[in-house]
Amino acid sequence: MEYKLTTPLTEEVTRKLRAGDTVLLSGVIYTARDAAHKRLCECLDRGEELPIDVKDAAIYYAGPTPARPGQAIGACGPTTSYRMDAYAPRLLHLGLKAMIGKGKRSDQVVDAMKETGAVYLAAIGGAGALMASRVKTAQLVCYEDLGSEAIRRLEVEEMPLTVVIDSLGNNLYQTGPQEYRAAMEQR
């Protein structure tokens, strides 16, 4: 199935998505990767309010290259997601509905996704120049000292994504290669 979705993403919408579906995502998303996730969780440890509202939000694991004059953003493909696994369940339990990245996730993250109805979406890793054309605006939100790792608010238009892990725990990284191998064995 192919879906056109706009943020915020409600649980009702994300629970419908299945591994292998494609999504064209529009609306506001937030970039956050390693160092920003660490700070977000430290913020929660101190009992403070997060600098972004994660309820029904989508976080993009990405650290773009600097924008040239006249451009909204530089190259902005996804980074490998497992490094955020230590932090993701806390954000999911606060209502985060979509994580966008690439690569495997831990069982703890998948369990939290099942409980909260969230999805894990893959952007094409290494296709940073192409993804830039889907970003209409980019604004710094916080943690400017982190440079590329700062949290940015992006307005995106039809960002092409693939559902890799759905809220039932189905995983395209397992089923995709399995289906290919099964088809090759039948040849």
Partner 1 sequence: MREISAQAITETVARLCIEANSRLSPDMENAVRSAFEREQWPIAKTTLKTLCDNLDAARETGLPICQDTGMACVFCEIGQEVHIDGDFEAAIHAGVAKGYTEGFLRKSVVKDPIRRGNTGDNTPAVIHTRLVPGDKLKITVAPKGFGSENMSRLGMLKPSDGEQGVKDFVLETVKLAGPNPCPPIVVGVGVGGTFEKAAMLAKQALLRPVGSHHPDPYYADMEQELLEKINQLGIGPQGFGGETTALGVQIETYPTHIAGMPVAVNINCHVTRHKEAVL
> Which residues are catalytically annotated?
37
132 sits near partner 1 (criterion: CB under 8 A) = yes
37 sits near partner 1 (criterion: CB under 8 A) = no
Residue found under tokens 């120049």: 129
Closest separation between CB of residue 106 and partner 1, Å? 13
Closer of 52 and 172 to partner 1 (Cβ): 172
Out of 41, 44, 127, 168, which residue is the one contacting partner 1 (CB under 8 A)? Answer: 127
- C-alpha 168/C-alpha 125 separation (Å) is 24
Contacts of 1 (CB under 8 A, 6+ apart): 18, 21, 22
Out of 65, 90, 114, 158, which residue is the one contacting partner 1 (CB under 8 A)? Answer: 65
Strand partners, 58: 98
Which run of H or of E encompasses 24? strand 22-31
Using CA atoms, how far residue 136 sits from 28, 109, 144, 176, in Å, is: 10, 30, 20, 32
Residues near partner 1 (CB under 8 A) are: 35, 62-68, 71, 74-77, 79-80, 82, 102-104, 122, 124-130, 132-133, 145-149, 160, 162, 172-173, 175-181, 183-184
